[in-house]
Structures are given as structure tokens and as C-alpha cells.
Amino acid sequence: MSASSVHRALARSHRSFSTSSVRSADFTHAVIGGGVVGLAVARKLQEREGVSTVLIERHGSVGTETSSRNSEVIHAGLYYGETSLKARLCLRGKEMMYDLCRQHHISHMNCGKWVVAQDALQMEALEKVHSFASSIGVPTYFVSREEGKRREPDVRAEAGILESPSTGIVDSHSLMQFLEGDFEEHGGICAFQSPVTKIEAVRNGAGGWKITTSSGDEESSITAETLVNSAGLTAIPISNMILPPDRHFRPYYAKGSYFSYALSRPKPSILVYPAPVPGHGGLGTHLTLDMAGRIRFGPDVEWVDDPTDLRVNDRNLPAALDDIQTYLPGVNRSAIGLDYCGIRPKLGKLGAVTSGKGFQDFYIKREDGFQGFVNLLGIESPGLTSSLAIAEEVERLLYP
């Protein structure tokens, strides 16, 4: 069941018990954003005794933004600094994701991935990835040239292949359907068509949170004891509605376009990534598979000013074709076409991997001076992989 506004959500809430001092609030928890992360957080919070959680989403259903516009890769955690949130939450999230998918028959595949090097410099990058992965307990190993040729004859790797056996893929739509269903079965409420337009921290959150949504001419408000900002591409503007000007962030957006492939050959059965490039905003134009076994290439990186600009443009296609042909020389260039794109919410024009300068980590904080407010900013890749672990982290921040 879903409501078309926060008011209807309120009518359906059966709040009966609260351990908090803000007893008069409509809900114990309000989570803004029905992407995979908001869903995972809302579900986790709703598992607790005596809570009532509302998930507020501006569209008519869950997961219509970044969570359905990505590579659907369950990342192994190869690229992020040892002490980073990205590394910790990706590692934990990966294990939780495989467990959840197995337990609830959510479509996924532990297909593994190759990172391929074409020259000595790229091989050095692979050595670094391997030694870092070993240091944090993520399995990786080098595949010999003979084994490489035997297993994937279409893949070119002149200098070396590093295999990550714990990488996989997940059907993100099935995952989100499960999370939404489980949340609602536990009594959680989804308020759809409810864009949040105003937020008031009553006595800096000590008196709870008043959240206003507007849809057409209709404006409605609800109150909650705590607030989680999981609004993806709009998380920074929402954070800026709450925090004072000296704590404002500026949002950056890195679009990633995907390219489809119309032929059935060549068709590797493993994900293939080029060696990571220091300072790059993504992981290079890689080859991924979907659950139907179709291959796609991407995403590239293009900085844009407008987070709603979801047009795939062909400006980057020639460069992407060159990239793809370095590791898949037999690919038919004329069978590669434009597919879809997604936009990474970024906190700066910084690298996605630690080998680059100015690596950007996830920002997940219980904000000082604002009671019961957890802010999730810059939740780019590996946000899908990490979603279940991010939910645990948010619960830990709200219930230390």
C-alpha cells in the first residue's frame, strides 16, 4: 500500500508507543528519499520495537532516480582507502547483500570481475590494487596469460589480469521491491508524490522535525522525532535547508552514460574493467552484464550542472569506443549504441578511487547541534553495494 501524500501516510500510521521525549510527533523517524539507500535505512529503523517510520518520496514509486541508473555491480571494495567509510561499508554491505539475496531469492549473480592491464604502468596499478585488497582481506589473484586466453578468448590483457572473485551483480529493481515490501510489512509507511520543500528543526531538533511537502496546490506537514536525509541528488540542497550557511555544501554532478551492444559476440561471462586511472571521477568505461546476460559498456564521466539532465549524448561515444576496443578488440563498433545514463551526486570534482588526488568519501553524519538529524551526502558508487551497511550505520548514529 502506498499513500499519495504525507497526510494520507499520517492517517495510516498507527503510532502507539514512544520511548522518546518528543512524544507528540506523528512519526518516530522520517526518511527523505525512496532510493535503495533510503529504503534500506527506513526498513532497518522500522525493525525496532515501538517505532513508526515514514519514507517520503517525491515520485510515485521507489527507485526511479540513481538507484535504477547504475551498473548494478556488487563491488568487492578494491578501490577505497583503508579507513574510509566507502571501504568499510562496501565490505560489510557486500556480505549483507549476498546474504539477503540468497535468503530472499533476489536475483543476483556472483560472477566475478577482471581488471585488465595493457602496459607496465597499468600493471603497476593492478599490483597496487592487489596489495591493498590483500591488506583489507578482499580476495584477488592474478590470472595467467594461458588461463586468461582459455577462459575469455575475446578479452585482451597484454600485461596482466587481476581477478576479483567476490564481485557480482544484483537486480536492483528486485532488491528495492523486496526492501519496500519488507518495510511495509513491518508497519512502515511510504508517502509518494511528496516532494519535501521545507524543513523546520523545532528547537534545533530537540522538539522534533516539521517536514513540509508540496504537490500542486496541496501543502502538507508532518512531524517526526528524527530525520534522515537520503535524498540522493537533492541531498545537498536539503542539507542546506537545515544547516547554517557556514556549513553549506555545493553540489556537483558527474553524469555517466552507458552504451548498449546489439550483437551476441563477443560475449565475456565476467565483468571487465580497465586498470584504474588516478584522479578519475569513475572506474573507467567497463563492461558489465545484466541478469539476462546482456553486456553493456560504461559509465563514462561528464560533469554537468543540471541533475535532471538525463539525456545520453553521443559526444563521448568515439572515446568510449576506443577505450572498449583496448580490452575487447573484436567488438563491432557499429553495434554499440547509446543506452541510458545516471548521475553521481558528488561533494567535489574529486576522484572516485584512492589512487587519485583528493579522494572523496561518503559523508554520513549525525550533525552537531541538531538533535536526531542524520545527513547522507555524496552517496555515489559503491552506494548500492553499501546500502544495507549504510542502514546499520544510520541506526548506530541514531541509537549510539
Ligand X SMILES: Cc1cc2nc3c(=O)[nH]c(=O)nc-3n(C[C@H](O)[C@H](O)[C@H](O)COP(=O)(O)OP(=O)(O)OC[C@H]3O[C@@H](n4cnc5c(N)ncnc54)[C@H](O)[C@@H]3O)c2cc1C
Instruction: Retrieve residue 82's grid coordinates.
Output: 583503508
Q: Which residue is nearest to ligand X (CB)?
A: 383
Least distance to ligand X from the beta carbon of 232, Å? 2
Cell 558489465, residue? Answer: 288
* 379: contact with ligand X by CB under 6 A: yes
Least distance to ligand X from the beta carbon of 275, Å? 18
**Angstrom distance (rounded) from CA 140 to CA 133:** 7
Mark 124-163 with x for binding to ligand X (rule: CB under 6 A) and - for no binding: ----------------------------------------
Judge whether 342 and 70 are in contact, CB under 8 Å: yes
Least distance to ligand X from the beta carbon of 262, Å? 21
Name the pairing type of β-strands 271-274 and 113-117. parallel
Cell 536539503, residue? Answer: 238
Instruction: Retrieve residue 383's grid coordinates.
Output: 552506494
The DSSP annotation for 339-375 comes to EEEEEEEESSS--SSTTSSS----EEEE-TTSTTEEE
Helix axes 36-46, 172-185, angle to 10 degrees: 30
* 67: contact with ligand X by CB under 6 A: yes
* 266: contact with ligand X by CB under 6 A: no
Smaller CB separation from ligand X, 116 or 390: 390
* 78: contact with ligand X by CB under 6 A: no
Instruction: Retrieve residue 53's grid coordinates.
Output: 517510520
Instruction: Retrieve residue 81's grid coordinates.
Output: 582507502
Residue-level length of the chain? 400
* 239: contact with ligand X by CB under 6 A: no
Task: Please identify which residue in 10, 25, 26, 34 interacts with ligand X, judged by CB under 6 A.
Answer: 34
* 380: contact with ligand X by CB under 6 A: yes
Smaller CB separation from ligand X, 251 or 342: 342
Does residue 112 come out as left (phi exceeding 0), alpha (psi in the -120 to 50 range) or beta? left
The footprint of ligand X on residues 337-376 (CB under 6 A) is: 342-344
In one letter, which amino acid is 263?
Answer: L
Mark 36-55 with x for binding to ligand X (rule: CB under 6 A) and - for no binding: xxx-----------------
* 393: contact with ligand X by CB under 6 A: no
Contacting residues toward ligand X, per CB under 6 A: 32-38, 56-59, 64-67, 69-73, 75, 195-196, 230-234, 256, 299, 342-344, 379-385
